[in-house]
Amino acid sequence: MTIVELEKTVWEQDGVRIVVRDRSAARVNAYAYTNAAKENWSVTEFLRTRISPLVESREVAVVEGSGRIANGRKLLKTIRESYN
């Protein structure tokens, strides 16, 4: 899957905006999760568990509703609520 497809899939599946720093057409491993990540996971846990294994050494950020980069200690529940 491409980075653009991964970013879109994570948004649709997990309700979280991520940005992967690389060419938009660069290939990454497929996002194979069918359930959304738990709302009590921190951003760091989400990235370490689900995203980093797919994107390898590429830089990834979770973006809050305000457009700011989320702190690693923030919970996914808080991130999701920031989009409303």
- Residue 16 and residue 47 in contact, taking contact as beta carbons nearer than 8 Å: no
Q: Report how far residue 25's alpha carbon sits from residue 13's, in angstroms, rounded to the nearest whole number.
A: 20
pTM of the model: 0.92
* 3-state SS, residue 69: strand
pLDDT, tens digit only, all 84 positions of the chain: 999 999 999 999 999 999 999 998 999 999 999 999 999 999 999 999 999 999 999 999 999 999 999 999 999 999 999 999
Domain residue limits at 8: 3-81
CA distance 84 to 26: 30
The total number of structural domains that make up the chain: 1
